[in-house]
Structure 1
Amino acid sequence: MSNENCNPFSKCEEQSGKIKTIFCTEKGKTYQYINKSSNFVVKIRVDECLVKGEQQRKCDFMILSCGEPKKAYLIELKGSDLEHAAKQILNVIQLFQIELSDFEINARIVLSKVYQRDIESEDYIKLKRKLKNRIKHKNILLSETI
């Protein structure tokens, strides 16, 4: 699989290429991915494209970075329920474990506000352990240079 063809989810691709900055925005919350390494990257809509229906828990977006190592960023933009966001990301990891098996998985959660009880919740701790702490959460805007 070449760098330009590392996306196993092409039907839900919103952007791809050596894009300098990718924005994932919803209801006043934004995740900003700054592609300093100039890797080939792919932005994928998960909610209501890759995973449809109200019954399935799913995050909002996925960004695949096709450099070495290949990385997947699962992004949830949420009000204030960090524990539910963790459950959504855990479910997407489970649903697509085969497709994402070649990727280092990272979680990014942007919230309106975070409660201490959510940081200590079982599902958030489970996600942190599963991803070996490759998780970040922040209020309103999470911007990172990769």
Structure 2
Amino acid sequence: MQNTDYFKKLQNCIICSVNNKRVVIEENGREFIIENFDCKKLEKVRVDGCLITSGIKCDYSVIVDRNSQDLNSVYLIELKGSDAKHGYKQLLQTYNFFISNFQFTSMHLRIVFTKDSKPQLKSPAEKMISKLVAEKKITFKKKSGDMTEKI
């Protein structure tokens, strides 16, 4: 079910709306690059501090080809320094926020970090993300260094 209050708030958190062939999102010395060769409409949304102002949340969202009824394809993006474990929590909490407040066709979680500490055991958030991937509810990618995504 679409939450109209959050849908209105989302409008105010859009940093840019473009159909460029290349869009770069950067923070913490990390870059998430979107190659948009079909020139789809992309909306870059500031999640942390705008759409979600309290609690754990990711940095940005990119919405692909949004219409008035739903968000279509959504990318949740976390650009981390070195604490990838906390980044999984941020993505999972933001995912839960989106499924509670918006309608969308597909969800893609992405984390870009400087260094992965490679813990022996997966964190509970990482296990839950793996479960969502297995159930085909989301896609998930992580990468040390910059990440490029073709859409």
**TM beyond 0.5:** yes
Unaligned runs of 5+ in 1: 1-7
1:4-19 matched pairs, under 5 angstroms: 8=7, 9-19=10-20
Match of 1:134 in 2: 139
Matched residues in 1 for 2:121 and 2:57: separation? 19
Aligned pairs for 1:1-146 (under 5 A) are 8=7, 9-53=10-54, 56-66=55-65, 70-117=72-119, 120-131=122-133, 132=136, 134-146=139-151
- What letter corresponds to residue 29 of structure 1 in structure 2? R
Q: TM-score, normalised on structure 2?
A: 0.81
Deviation at 1:89, TM superposition (A): 1.1
8 Å Cα contact 2:74/2:104 also seen in 1: no
Return structure 1 stretches of 4+ with deviation > 4 angstroms: none
Asked if the contact 2:91/2:109 (under 8 Å) is kept, the reply is: yes
Q: In 1, distance between residues paired with 2:139 and 2:28?
A: 25
Partner Cα separation in structure 2 for residue 118 and residue 129 of structure 1: 18
Q: In angstroms, what is the RMSD of aligned CA positions?
A: 2.3
2:57 aligns to what SS in structure 1?
coil
* Alignment size in residue pairs: 138
More deviation in 57-66 or 94-103? 94-103
